[in-house]
Amino acid sequence: MDFENFSAGTSIMHAADVRLKLIGALFFSVVVALCHSLSGAGLALLIGLVLLAGARLAPLQVARRLLLVNLFLLFFWGTLPFSAAGPAFDFGLLHISQAGVRLATLVTLKTNAIIMVFLALVATSSMVAIGHGLAALRLPNRLCVLLLFTYRYIFVLQQEYQRLRRAALLRGFVPATSLHTYRTYGNLLGMTLVKSWQRGIRVQQAMQLRGFQGRFYLLTPPAVRGRDWLLFVLLLTAASAVAVTELTSRAGGCP
Amino acid sequence: MTSVKLADISYGPPGGSLLFNNLSLEIGTERVGLIGPNGSGKTTLFYIIMGLLRPDKGAVLLNGRQVDDGRAWRQLRRQVGFLFQDADDQLFSPTVLEDVGFGPLNIGYSESEARQRAEATLESLGLAGFEDRITHQLSGGEKKLVALATILVMAPDILLLDEPTNNLDPTTRKRLVAILEKLNLPMVIISHDFDFLAKTTDVIYSLEQGHLHRSESSHLHSHPHAHPYGEHPHDHGG
């Protein structure tokens, strides 16, 4: 499974406190999401690149992630330039709307900036650390525990599904567009569901036997260190810089 | 000394035929091996002892008193530790330390006390340094030992172990034998591993068609058996 590819590492981004990284990433994303100016979004992308470089992730894997996002953005490029109103570049029959091109550029810049910041700040923490961080930030205990349990058992369920699928393949099952294939996949999924249900019951029993009474305790993460605060202040400053650029470009009246 | 008694238990799964008929058993003094064919109800018996299944007839007694309400069951579950067959069912917390600390936190220890007890238990099982490991990334043998730690941290008086040696390599199996010997607690072990039972138990009950038959476990090792890699020197453990 393509999962937690980036959480192991020794960069400053990996070492930083997960709580501050989460707040920083959230603050930054909100500022970027509210941007309307190309200059603001461009600065955000630049900051995203710097943070990403600071995380020292495997470039190829990062490129693959970004490619995935940008494939999705192609849909915007395929529609916006041809559908937005206003002045247009004319190439014979082809009218390419200036506003459309600008909008597609803006969306591309903002999306990539936010993804880069999340790769640099959030993907550099393990799921377990993120769950604990969210709980320490006073998010509802139930939601955090739900996240951690999902993470704990998704692998077990995936293995169970793979075991069943392998058993089917070993008995000569070749997926095709046929009723037999659909029925087989239906059975595989159904059986995985039943097994998950049964496992859920066993886990609940194990919890009961150890005195579970509705409250799931998470141990608190270690205290925030000085250099974590430094990174946090830098993040807030960077986000503020984007906000200021945005506001000045609005005040200046440029679109 | 804690004792748990099953008194005239009858139980059949919903829609199935009767698994036990007027079965009685007392645990709390001996180390008991429980053998029996697949589907004979060994695990079901454990579930009944722990109150996860209610018998159709009969009662579970803790120190001579019938266990019949939530409080009494909680008390029994503190004194009897049940090691599941599949460690993945038992290890649900994100990290090893949290999983071992789960029980102590539930029964009212503070976070630092729970942490301390968990660390001490891991240490005593030779698992020091495992605290921050992610539970699902442990190997099968490590999972089994950590699951045992989650039980032992509750300081039980009696242990119920359901096929503890399943899928264990010889080294981990040996470690488990050593741990159980050192614990010297009364316990019931379900196993098909006669060699293991001969080392860890005093008496064997075999469960067949709803009835328990008692025999001494020293009789167990008298049959011929084969070892993989038999040409290499190996230890029969006396």
Q: Where are the alpha helices (DSSP H) in chain A?
A: 12-15, 18-33, 38-55, 59-83, 98-121, 127-136, 141-170, 179-209, 226-251
B115–A contact, CB cutoff 8 A: yes
Asked whether residue A29 is assigned to any structural domain, the reply reads yes
Asked whether residue B165 is assigned to any structural domain, the reply reads yes
Nearest-by-Cβ selection for A128 from B77, B101, B134: B134
Q: What is the pLDDT of residues B173-212, one digit of tens each?
A: 999 999 999 998 999 999 998 889 999 999 999 998 888 8
Q: Are A210 and B102 an interchain contact pair (Cβ–Cβ within 8 Å)?
A: yes
Q: Are B98 and A218 an interchain contact pair (Cβ–Cβ within 8 Å)?
A: yes
Q: Which of B136, B151, B159, B160 to mutate to test the interface with A (most CBs of A within 10 A)?
A: B136
Report chain B residues whose CB lies below 8 A from the CB of A209: 50, 52, 77, 82
pLDDT computed for residue B34 by the predictor: 94
Q: Which domain holds residue B121?
A: 4-218
Residues A152 and A128 in one domain: no
Asked whether residue B164 is assigned to any structural domain, the reply reads yes
Q: Are B52 and A203 an interchain contact pair (Cβ–Cβ within 8 Å)?
A: no
Asked whether residue A103 is assigned to any structural domain, the reply reads yes
Nearest-by-Cβ selection for B89 from A132, A206, A212: A206
Residues A87 and A117 in one domain: yes
pLDDT higher at A5 or B87:
B87
Q: Which residue of A has its CA nearest to B90?
A: A206
Asked whether residue B160 is assigned to any structural domain, the reply reads yes
List of residues 6+ apart from B68 with CB closer than 8 A: B59
Is it the case that residue A227 has pLDDT exceeding 80? yes
By CB atoms closer than 10 A (0-12, 13-18, 19+), residue B7 is middle
Residues A196 and A124 in one domain: no
Asked whether residue B149 is assigned to any structural domain, the reply reads yes
Report which residue type is found at B203: V
pLDDT computed for residue B33 by the predictor: 94
Is it the case that residue A2 has pLDDT exceeding 70? no
Average pLDDT over chain B, rounded to whole?
88
A101, two tokens: 């091109």
Residues A96 and A128 in one domain: yes
Q: What is the DSSP string of A189-247?
A: HHHHHHHHHHHHHHHHHHHHHTT--S----PPPPPPPHHHHHHHHHHHHHHHHHHHHHH
Report which residue type is found at B200: T
Is it the case that residue B5 has pLDDT exceeding 50? yes
Is it the case that residue B2 has pLDDT exceeding 60? yes
B116–A contact, CB cutoff 8 A: no
What's the whole-number mean pLDDT along residues A3-7?
Answer: 78
Report chain B residues whose CB lies below 8 A from the CB of A202: 84, 86, 89
pLDDT computed for residue A46 by the predictor: 95
**Which of A88-92, A203-207, B71-75, B225-229 has the lowest average pLDDT?**
B225-229
Asked whether residue A39 is assigned to any structural domain, the reply reads yes
How many distinct structural domains can be found in chain A? 2
Cα(first)–Cα(last) distance of chain A, in Å?
Answer: 44
Give the closest-approach CA distance of B92 to chain A in angstroms. Answer: 7
Q: What is the pLDDT of residues A134-173, one digit of tens each?
A: 988 999 988 998 998 888 888 888 888 888 888 888 777 8
Asked whether residue A7 is assigned to any structural domain, the reply reads no
Residues A112 and A169 in one domain: no
Q: Are B96 and B146 in contact (CB under 8 A)?
A: yes
**Which of A4-13, A246-255, B23-32, B229-238 has the lowest average pLDDT?**
B229-238
Asked whether residue B175 is assigned to any structural domain, the reply reads yes
Asked whether residue B224 is assigned to any structural domain, the reply reads no
Asked whether residue A1 is assigned to any structural domain, the reply reads no
Q: Which domain holds residue A125?
A: 12-132+222-251
Q: Are A128 and B154 an interchain contact pair (Cβ–Cβ within 8 Å)?
A: no
140-169 in chain B: CB under 8 A from chain A: 150, 154
Report chain A residues whose CB lies below 8 A from the CB of B86: 202
**Residue B149 — very low, low, confident or very high, per pLDDT cuts 50/70/90?**
very high
- Interface confidence (ipTM) of the complex: 0.74
Is it the case that residue A89 has pLDDT exceeding 60? yes
Report which residue type is found at A221: P
What's the whole-number mean pLDDT along residues A174-192?
Answer: 87
Is it the case that residue A121 has pLDDT exceeding 90? yes
Asked whether residue A106 is assigned to any structural domain, the reply reads yes
Is it the case that residue B158 has pLDDT exceeding 80? yes
Give the closest-approach CA distance of B221 to chain A in angstroms. Answer: 34
- Report the distance separating Cα A107 and Cα A39, nearest Å: 13
> Sheet containing B187-190: which strands, arranged edge to edge?
B80-83, B158-162, B187-190, B31-35, B203-208, B211-216
pLDDT computed for residue B216 by the predictor: 73
Asked whether residue B18 is assigned to any structural domain, the reply reads yes
Quick count: other Cβ atoms within 10 Å of Cβ A62? 19
Average pLDDT over chain A, rounded to whole?
88
Residues A118 and A29 in one domain: yes
Is it the case that residue B229 has pLDDT exceeding 70? no
Q: Are A129 and A19 in contact (CB under 8 A)?
A: no
Asked whether residue A217 is assigned to any structural domain, the reply reads no
Q: What is the pLDDT of residues A30-79, one digit of tens each?
A: 999 999 999 999 999 999 999 999 999 988 999 999 999 999 999 999 88
What's the whole-number mean pLDDT along residues A104-110?
Answer: 94
A95, two tokens: 């009218």
How many distinct structural domains can be found in chain B? 1
Residues A203 and A227 in one domain: no
Residues A122 and A231 in one domain: yes
Asked whether residue B223 is assigned to any structural domain, the reply reads no
Quick count: other Cβ atoms within 10 Å of Cβ B183? 16
Q: Which of A163, A219, A220 to mutate to test the interface with B (most CBs of B within 10 A)?
A: A219
Is it the case that residue B237 has pLDDT exceeding 70? no
Give the closest-approach CA distance of B177 to chain A in angstroms. Answer: 23
Report chain B residues whose CB lies below 8 A from the CB of A213: 106
Asked whether residue A5 is assigned to any structural domain, the reply reads no
Give the CATH number, domain containing residue B100: 3.40.50.300
Residues A23 and A99 in one domain: yes
What's the whole-number mean pLDDT along residues B151-179?
Answer: 93
pLDDT computed for residue B238 by the predictor: 45
